[in-house]
Amino acid sequence: MYKKLLSPVKTGSIQLNNRVVMAPLTRSRAGAGDVPRELNVQYYKQRATAGLIVTEASQVSRQGQGYAWTPGIYTDAQEAGWAKVVDAVHAEGGHIALQLWHVGRISHPLLQENGAQPVAPSAIVPENSRSFVILPDGTPSNVAPEMPRALENSEIPGIVAQYRQAAQRAKRAGFDLVEVHAANGYLLQQFMATNSNQRTDNYGGSLENRARLTLEVVDAAIAEIGADRVGIRLSPHFNAHGIADAEPEAMALYLLKALSERGIAYVHIAEPDWVGGPVLSDEFRQQMRAAFNGTLICCGNYSAEEGNALIEQGLADAVAFGRPFIANPDLVARFAQGAELNTPDRDTFYGGNEKGYTDYPFLK
């Protein structure tokens, strides 16, 4: 059953046991100082039979945080916490990538150092967005992001340096790969999208200029850990967090060709239909496949059967699953046996402790 989906595949220099990827899933359960804790170690260890785990997005700096209780990768304590996660996954024979994250304008002064404004390519408030903050009285709350500050051209090398240092820390922590988060309306996609980037310098205007920061970040990660251990997540046609890009497919294909030339391990496509975006056309899928010669991972509410078919058609090399992995730590075994899946409890997706996190039942 699902022979292609359950077969091994090489991604960069890493041999994966199967093509079932655990998608990055924000769960808002980091400990004090945004440090991964023992509960997180247990959660990832339970899911180590995935061909590849992509961790929840992890901010590369305090400036890059948009939600309370998400883990970081910019302090020694955070690095040490992640190292325990990596060791636990490796002990079970699994592989794991750290997703590197800067939210840009999807933030709030309550999350920023000294109450600073969030940063963005341009001073535009994102529509229909929320940040998750702790109010001054200690109450958790979803709040609208406030007006961001446009980054000065002179500040952009510092943003790239945040990613570079995060990649260094990921390497020291023992991660097999890093995934640059350039999707879902966060900072890198804010630079790429036509409506959120109104700059007139060399990071705005033309498609090539809007792609510049993303490629500089990828190059910084490559310099630290090697192209064969770098992946990236893209979300063409994403239409939440105030993103309305006039050139999503042209941008994706430009990046895929540039990333193929760099020889990175994989590109992870987050399909937009889960946020009300369009279903990707077969023509565009074929164009993406032709543009990139590394491992192509697709993520989009697929069943095992649909994912297996996508691989059989040559349109993907692996398929990422999100919510099924929340409720089914042994998802790979359930696919292999054709077993029924547990249903995820939406009320426990974000925040809390064991309930809805590490207490889902395994197959008997």
Residue pair 324/331 in contact by the 8 Å Cβ criterion? yes
C-alpha closest to that of 266 among 233, 306, 222, 314: 233
- The catalytically annotated residue of 44, 74, 186, 266 is 186
CA separation for the pair 89, 48 (Å, rounded) = 5
Contact between 227 and 267 under an 8 Å Cβ cutoff? The reply is: no
Exposed/middle/buried for residue 117 (C-beta within 10 Å: 0-12, 13-18, 19+) = middle
**CB-CB contact of 56 with 87 (8 Å):** no
Choose among 193, 190, 185, 189: nearest CA to 149: 190
Place of tokens 């991964």: 36
Positive or negative torsion for Cα 312, 317, 323, 328: positive
| Phi-psi category of residue 173: left, alpha or beta, with phi > 0 → left and psi -120 to 50 → alpha | alpha
As given in the structure block, the two tokens for residue 204 are: 């705005």
Contacts of 138 (CB under 8 A, 6+ apart): none
Report the alpha-carbon distance of residue 147 to residue 105 in Å, rounded. 8
CB 335 within 8 A of CB 6: yes
CB 68 within 8 A of CB 138: no
Residue 43 catalytic?
A: no
Find out whether 148 and 119 touch, Cβ atoms under 8 Å: yes
Write out the catalytic residue numbers: 186
